[in-house]
Amino acid sequence: MNADNNTPVNFIENIIEEDIQTGRYGGSVNTRFPPEPNGYLHIGHAKSICLNFGLANKYKGLCNLRFDDTNPIKEEEEYIESIKEDVRWLGFDWGDRMYYASDYFEKLHEFAVKLIREGKAYVDDLTADEIRGHRGTLTEPGRESPYRNRSVEENLELFERMTRGEFRDGERVLRAKIDMSSPNLNMRDPVMYRILHASHHRTGDKWCIYPMYDFTHGQSDSIEGITHSICTLEFEDHRPLYDWFIKALGIYHPRQIEFARLNLTHTVMSKRRLLQLVERGYVNGWDDPRMPTISGLRRRGYTPESIRTFCERIGVAKRDSMVDSAFLEHCLREDLNKRAPRMMAVLKPLKVIIDNYPDELTEELEAVNNPEDPSMGTRKVPFSKFIYIEKEDFLEDPPKKFYRLAPGREVRLRYAYFIKCTDVVKDKVTGEIIEIHCTYDPSTRGGDAPDGRKVKATLHWVSARHAFNAEVRLYDHLFLMDNPMDDRDGLDFLEKVNPGSVEKLISCMLEPALKEVEPGYRCQFERLGYFCADIVDSSENNPVFNRIVPLKDTWAKVQKSQGQ
């Protein structure tokens, strides 16, 4: 791990430090995060954000935010706003360097004309299908278009007419003249410009031809003076093309470095698929707490710190891999364990009457806010004759290893007293348990018996008279299998959505201190997990809680059993 924050921790930092030493970019390190505004960001993007902004921070450089908005059809303002909010929430700042690839449309057009003039680009009249048909395969070379050898003058004129809007969508394209038999398919005369009579969210109807991503990305990096252009592995095969454009244009040359994208178990990660989940109503919007989007994780209750830690620890590699979602949860627990206050809430209440406790008495018992951090102090929790415990903490006929409450048995109520069950009241018709009766031992106030006797279980509880009712939502994975994209089962990923991925509990009873919390407030409900007051559905004095994660750390357990 990165102990002194100076040693390189991965291959990207090695490359950068080498460049600093050789003075390749005058010692500067400038990066960018380049999302296409066609959806909300997900945890995979968080990895890229942490990497790009993190490198700029570490090497005292700058990181730009650049919207790669070359496709007018799929892009929306809503996405741009959400992306800005997510990057900021993660804790990063692009200063005054927010750019759009569309800022460079004019420049890119000039670049295209320059390549035509030099005989390095031509207008092709083949249809998209025909171009595909001419492309060849990995084992066979492509065939040259019959329009490939048009004169510079003709190309200039046709491109000009394309620009003026004289042709229909798809009628012509501008292609780079490179090599139809290159073993790299990206080099077989790739399309640079296409005709699209569509309004762009920023340039309106100014253009009816739009540059392809491949003719935009590298030049945008160059224009912005990016030194290290960090992208995911699928762009490795595009690098020769980007290099070719940069060289042909004779412009400043950034260095592209590829790393493996993050894949996470039990979810899907591409914006296209996330959009399907949203549009077809499998989830309630991009910020549904089950979504792997940054807005979904935020609403669920994840902290930006835990996501940054996660991204740092998974590191960067050259080979694709799948990270266990239990590790992300582990990072969250580790963070909240240190700083989340402990509170008491009963999700599925069972009424307990303490027969020997005075009817009208309320005691204010002292509870520790966080045993991990004494500086967080204590609070008072009201106790009275009527309390609620979890239904599942009582069994009339307990099996061997059940140590919680049962008839005749004594347990501890956290921060309160020992109680002993004396009677069970059931519904005469259904046989369902309605309430249980107990006695308490006044000498055990605070939770310990002066005679030293032990109990095997400590239960959380709330005072019935003081608690308030709230809705609590429990979440499970959106997909139960590790990799829902594995299609060996012949199913589409949408058919594999976990129907039990959310459980809404409406009769939960919470300790009174939780009533006035702000939306976004996080705490631990003792024994139940970490929870967050939903930022959308909570209202004043009426919080709705999301369970971020249960307490059981399956990741830590796996690590322990592997002796790590």
- Contact residues toward ligand ATP (CB under 6 A) are 34-36, 44-45, 47-48, 231-232, 261-262, 269-271
Name which of 151 and 270 has its Cβ closer to ligand ATP. 270
**Could you say which of Mg ion, ligand ATP, none residue 231 binds, taking C-beta under 5 to 8 angstroms by partner kind?**
ligand ATP
261: annotated active-site residue? yes
C-alpha 208/C-alpha 71 separation (Å) is: 11
**Could you say which of ligand ATP, Mg ion, none residue 348 binds, taking C-beta under 5 to 8 angstroms by partner kind?**
none
36: annotated active-site residue? yes
Q: How far is the CB of 476 from ligand ATP (least distance, A)?
A: 22
C-alpha 362/C-alpha 264 separation (Å) is: 49
Q: Which residue has the tokens 């692009």?
A: 94
C-alpha 154/C-alpha 158 separation (Å) is: 6
Q: How far is the CB of 41 from ligand ATP (least distance, A)?
A: 8
C-alpha 361/C-alpha 218 separation (Å) is: 73
Among 17, 36, 179, 363, the residue binding Mg ion under the rule CB under 5 A is 36
- Of 108, 113, 109, the C-alpha closest to 155 is 113
Q: How far is the CB of 35 from Mg ion (least distance, A)?
A: 8
Q: How far is the CB of 36 from ligand ATP (least distance, A)?
A: 4
Name which of 36 and 324 has its Cβ closer to Mg ion. 36
Residue at shortest CB range from Mg ion: 36
Q: Show the tokens assigned to 209.
A: 């031809």
12 vs 2, 15, 16, 55, 285, CA distance in Å? 14, 5, 6, 9, 35
Name which of 275 and 395 has its Cβ closer to ligand ATP. 275
What residues contact 22, with CB distance under 8 A and at least 6 apart? none
Q: How far is the CB of 461 from ligand ATP (least distance, A)?
A: 44
Q: Which residue has the tokens 């609070």?
A: 379
Catalytic residue chosen out of the listed positions 172, 271, 290, 473: 271
Binding mask 83-102 for Mg ion (x = CB under 5 A): --------------------
Catalytic residue chosen out of the listed positions 36, 157, 236, 471: 36
Catalytic residue chosen out of the listed positions 261, 339, 379, 414: 261
**Could you say which of ligand ATP, Mg ion, none residue 34 binds, taking C-beta under 5 to 8 angstroms by partner kind?**
ligand ATP
462 vs 14, 71, 446, 512, CA distance in Å? 55, 55, 15, 9
**Could you say which of ligand ATP, Mg ion, none residue 24 binds, taking C-beta under 5 to 8 angstroms by partner kind?**
none
C-alpha 40/C-alpha 408 separation (Å) is: 55
**What angle (nearest 5°) sits at the alpha carbon of residue 423, between those of residues 512 and 350?**
30
Name which of 261 and 527 has its Cβ closer to ligand ATP. 261
Give the phi and the psi of residue 379 in degrees, each rounded to 5.
Answer: -140, 170
**Could you say which of ligand ATP, Mg ion, none residue 261 binds, taking C-beta under 5 to 8 angstroms by partner kind?**
ligand ATP
C-alpha 79/C-alpha 71 separation (Å) is: 13
Q: Which stretch binds Mg ion (CB under 5 A): 33-41, 189-197, 298-306, 457-465?
A: 33-41
C-alpha 86/C-alpha 33 separation (Å) is: 12
C-alpha 45/C-alpha 311 separation (Å) is: 10
Name which of 45 and 194 has its Cβ closer to ligand ATP. 45
338: annotated active-site residue? no
Q: How far is the CB of 262 from ligand ATP (least distance, A)?
A: 4
Q: How far is the CB of 64 from Mg ion (least distance, A)?
A: 17
Provide the CA 6 distance to its chain's centre, in angstroms.
Answer: 28
**Could you say which of Mg ion, ligand ATP, none residue 251 binds, taking C-beta under 5 to 8 angstroms by partner kind?**
none
471 binds Mg ion (CB under 5 A): no
Q: Show the tokens assigned to 310.
A: 């996660």
C-alpha 140/C-alpha 489 separation (Å) is: 33
Name which of 271 and 299 has its Cβ closer to Mg ion. 271
Name which of 47 and 298 has its Cβ closer to ligand ATP. 47
* Local structure of residue 66 (DSSP, 8 states): E
Q: Show the tokens assigned to 322.
A: 């799948």
List residues with catalytic annotation: 36, 261, 271
Residues that bind Mg ion (CB under 5 A): 36
